[in-house]
Structure 1
Amino acid sequence: MPQTLPGTDRFRLRELREDDAAFALALLNDPDFLHHIADRGVRDLDQASAYLREGPIASYARYGFGLWAVEMKDDGRVAGLCGLVRRELLPAPDLGYAFLPAWRGQGLARVAARLCLDLAFGPLALPRVLAIVTVGNTASRRVLESVGMRLQGPRTLQGESLLVYEINRDEHFTAGPGSGS
């Protein structure tokens, strides 16, 4: 994992911490998160802390990457998360992101996704990154396509029909690191 995570003039990426539990509780119970991503069964602050500890925080130690907080520079609020997830059901890490409703539609997901791909193909030296999205999540599909990911097709994963996107290191650097940011 790089010592310093990147950012922009508006936000920085940083590791999630257990004290981000209130943010995690709100995000994981947002109706759009529940509809398009999953119900993680997190209903209180203790469960949110455990989710962070056993999920993203454990992933940093195990893989050198995970989901990172998208923290606004002007006031330190966490707008969302974006990063790389290693799932047993996929052959490569996948790009994931989710934002609280107040922060959607502002281009943050696209810029954060591009920064995460820069990390994936730069310091982390990953050969490829996948992404999975529900068929009906057109906003997320637009984000993936805007950062150069290409649709591989529909797949049934854990009983759910999802679209799988992919980008490899060469494709990313053809477009140029940070392009579109």
Structure 2
Amino acid sequence: MDGLARVESPHAVRTSRLTLRPVGPEHLADLVALKGDEAAFGLMLHGTRSPAQARQDLEQDIACWAVHGYGTWAVHLSATGAFLGIVALAERPDGRGVALRFALWPHTRGKGYAREAARAALEFGHQRAGLARIVAVAREDNLASRGVLEDLGLRRASEFPRDGHRMLVYESLRPPASPASRDGG
């Protein structure tokens, strides 16, 4: 961050410690580094990405925001502006629905940042984007991601095999509106 006041996107989200900003061209170098790192991105759906693939992903992510009103955020530590990773709501290519995804730098693990960013994205998806159902998929042996999903209240809904691994599908359903909120009261 350059210290100048910035105009925030209407899709930016702030938590007590984090700022989530929709990804844009200014995030390309950080995304190339994150997505090329096996420890940070190796367990993601398509695995690590080349710089060209990361650039293509960014173009698709920008388009997703324009079309759907949700997408991938760059996760920054509010106090310093440091880039920690990404959190996203994105349609899964296998037709399972809009999925919550997150990948943060390994050195940030154990501080609750993934949980905080994922909670903010989940709330955005249900409350601001109007998504009734959000899924998340984690390898059975990815205990850290499973722990985040379960702590956020996502429930296991199904499973499927992929590349010799058992994949667990979690879901979050938007709570129905209370009678008072439906009546405007």
Shorter-normalised TM range: 0.7 to 0.9
Q: Distance in 1 between matches of 2:101 and 2:168?
A: 13
The answer to whether structure 1 residue 19 and structure 2 residue 23 are counterparts is: no
Give the aligned CA root-mean-square deviation in angstroms: 2.3
- Counterpart position of 2:37: 30
Contact 1:7 1:13 in 2 (8 A): yes
* 1:139 equivalent in structure 2: 144
Distance 1:6 1:41, change over 3 A: closer
What's the counterpart of residue 117 of structure 1? 122
Partner residue in 2 for 1:108: 113
Q: Is 20-29 or 156-165 further displaced after alignment?
A: 156-165
Deviations, residues 65-99 of structure 1 (Å, cap 9, x unaligned): 11111111122121011120112313320100000
Q: Could you say which structure has the larger radius of gyration?
A: 2
What does residue 51 of structure 1 align with? 57
Aligned residues: 169
Q: Which AA in structure 1 matches 2:70?
A: F
**Pairwise mapping of residues 143-154 of structure 1 onto structure 2 (< 5 A)?**
143-154=148-159
The TM-score, its normalising length taken from structure 1, stands at 0.83
Q: CA deviation at 1:145?
A: 0.2
Bigger drift between 30-39 and 9-18 goes to: 30-39
Given candidates 117, 130, 135, the residue that maps to 2:135 is 130
Q: Which runs of 5+ in 1 are unaligned?
A: 175-181
Residue 89 of structure 1 contacts residue 157 of structure 1 at CA under 8 Å; is this kept in 2? no
Identical residues among aligned pairs (%): 31
Query: Deviation per CA, 1:99-146, whole angstroms, max 9, x where unpaired?
Result: 011211110111111111111111111111000111111000000000
Which of 7, 13, 24 aligns to 2:14? It is: 7
Aligned equivalent of 1:97? 102
Mapped contact 1:66–1:85 kept (Cα < 8 A): yes
User: For residue 82 of structure 2, what is the aligned residue in structure 1?
Assistant: 77
Per-residue displacement from partner, 1:133-172 (whole Å, max 9, x unpaired)? 111110000000000001123213588641100110018x
State the SS of the aligned residue for 2:125.
Answer: helix
Q: Report the secondary structure of 1:153's partner residue.
A: strand
The one-letter code of the counterpart of 2:173 is N
| Structure 1 residue 16 displacement after superposition | 0.7
